[in-house]
Chains A and B, each alone.
Chain A
Amino acid sequence: MGGGADGVAYFGNLETVSKKAVSFLKKQGYVKSMINWGDKFSLWPVHLMTSCCGTEFAAASGPRFDLERLGFLPFGGPRQTNLIVIEGTTTLKMARSVRIVWEQMPAPKWVIAMGACAMDGGIFYDSYNTVPAKDIVPIDIFLAGCPPRPEALARAVVMLQESIVKNRPPAADIQVTAAPATPGPKDVVEAVSK
């Protein structure tokens, strides 16, 4: 424990110390599988309604499909969550919010691109105001349909859980997607593998 110049006390450099500790712990096999188990059953999507698939997202958390069974609890703030479900089209204006929310979220984070609009553009493929979701954030699961049925969202969550258990790293760790200053449909994705 050291003393800062202007009367602020530091516990070392908190960020580096905690990162070192976490990376050490994560190398231990049993710890890793425990973390995976925790992540698997605690996928909390952030409240980010990008478009109209939000109605089916809402129905998926509703009683008939009740994704809370799988530990999927929609939550308000981005700081406490670890999953974004991009619900349909992202417009140029919304793309910035999506990127900001994604960057506000703490580290192991996943993204589900829900619906045709988030995949290749769907019916709005040639609109001047929409962006494919993969140009904004790295995406783990793509989900077909317009809008996909709630079961399909459940399928995406199940597939995400499987990939977590199989130690597949989140797409955020593999791809480095540069945030376009003004993201547009023709912006090139720079996917750099580690």
Chain B
Amino acid sequence: MTGRKNNRIKGHVDALATGFKYLAEPNRMTLNYPDESMNLKDNYRGFFAVKDKTCIGCSLCEIVCPPKAISMLDLTDAGGKKKKRPMIDWGLCIFCYFCVDICPTDAFQTSQVHDKAFYSETEYQTVHGEPMQYPYDYSKRPDYKEIYESFHDVAPDDPSAGSKKVVPKFDKKRGIKYEHPGQP
């Protein structure tokens, strides 16, 4: 492929023939997204939530979070004991999973949900209601207890849940093809 001498006519014929080859035998690898969606691998880094029971409030996730998307809340549980719990701002999160990996008790509930979009800031800043301030703006921090109650242990809702799930498979000829797990 690396030589420079080229027969021009052969070059044109080759180019047109290759074009025709792919036109006649389309080798598509398109995922019909809103109708189909991919089953991602288990270790895919998607949206996540906190398991309230497992969390010990050690603040390591807050310390290691590169974009400071996690800020610890001061809450009181049913028994009146003080506890700290992490709060995640999706407007900052970069899904590096440093928080998930550094957690000494494995208290993060991970998911493969990756395709969330929001109409307004209020939707993403807590996912459930009241907007959260910037994590470094601690002066204006409201009481997040209620928000947190609705947030932890809840797996993020998957926008593409209703679509047909397909599994991508490698193929020698087509690169990627999709298989429907439900079908034989």
Residues of A within 8 A of B124 (CB): 119, 142, 144
Cβ–Cβ contact B115 & A141, under 8 A: no
Give the contact stretch, choosing among B48-56, B89-97, B142-150: B89-97
Chain B residues 19 to 38 lying within 8 A of chain A, measured CB to CB, are 28-34, 37-38
Residue-by-residue, is B112-142 near A (CB-CB < 8 Å gives 1, otherwise 0)?
0011111111011100000000101000000
Residues of B within 8 A of A154 (CB): 33-34, 115
B interface, by DSSP: helix, strand, loop or mixed? loop
Cβ contact of B114, chosen from A126, A145, A156, cutoff 8 A = A145
Cβ–Cβ contact A120 & B32, under 8 A: no
Cβ–Cβ contact A142 & B91, under 8 A: yes
Residues of A within 8 A of B125 (CB): 120
Residues of B within 8 A of A141 (CB): 117-119
Cβ–Cβ contact A69 & B118, under 8 A: no
Residues of A within 8 A of B59 (CB): none
Chain A residues 104 to 137 lying within 8 A of chain B, measured CB to CB, are 116, 119-123, 125-126, 134
Given the contacts A69-B32, A143-B117, A120 and B160 also touching, CB distance less than 8 Å: no
Residue-by-residue, is B59-95 near A (CB-CB < 8 Å gives 1, otherwise 0)?
0000000111100000000000000000001111111
Cβ–Cβ contact B33 & A144, under 8 A: no
Max chain B Cβ within 10 angstroms of own Cβ: one of A70, A134, A152: A152
A162 CB → nearest B CB, Å: 10
Given the contacts A65-B33, A123-B67, A142-B124, A152 and B115 also touching, CB distance less than 8 Å: yes
Cβ–Cβ contact B117 & A123, under 8 A: no
Cβ–Cβ contact B92 & A120, under 8 A: yes
Residues of A within 8 A of B119 (CB): 140-142, 159, 163
Report the separation of the CA atoms of residues A64 and B38 in the bound assembly, to the nearest whole angstrom: 11
Given the contacts A144-B118, A152-B117, A154-B34, A125 and B68 also touching, CB distance less than 8 Å: yes
Residues of B within 8 A of A152 (CB): 114-117
Report the separation of the CA atoms of residues A121 and B162 in the bound assembly, to the nearest whole angstrom: 31
> Does B167 make an interface contact (CB < 8 A)?
no
Cβ–Cβ contact B33 & A151, under 8 A: yes
Cβ contact of A159, chosen from B94, B114, B117, cutoff 8 A = B117
9 tightest Cβ-Cβ pairs between the two chains A and B = A120-B91, A146-B94, A119-B91, A156-B117, A152-B115, A155-B115, A123-B67, A154-B33, A142-B118
Interface residues of chain B, those whose CB is within 8 Å of chain A, are 28-34, 37-38, 47, 66-69, 89-95, 114-121, 123-125, 134, 136, 159-160, 176
Given A151-B114, A151-B160, A154-B115, 10 further pairs, Cβ under 8 A: A116-B93, A125-B68, A134-B121, A141-B117, A141-B119, A143-B118, A148-B114, A151-B37, A155-B115, A155-B159
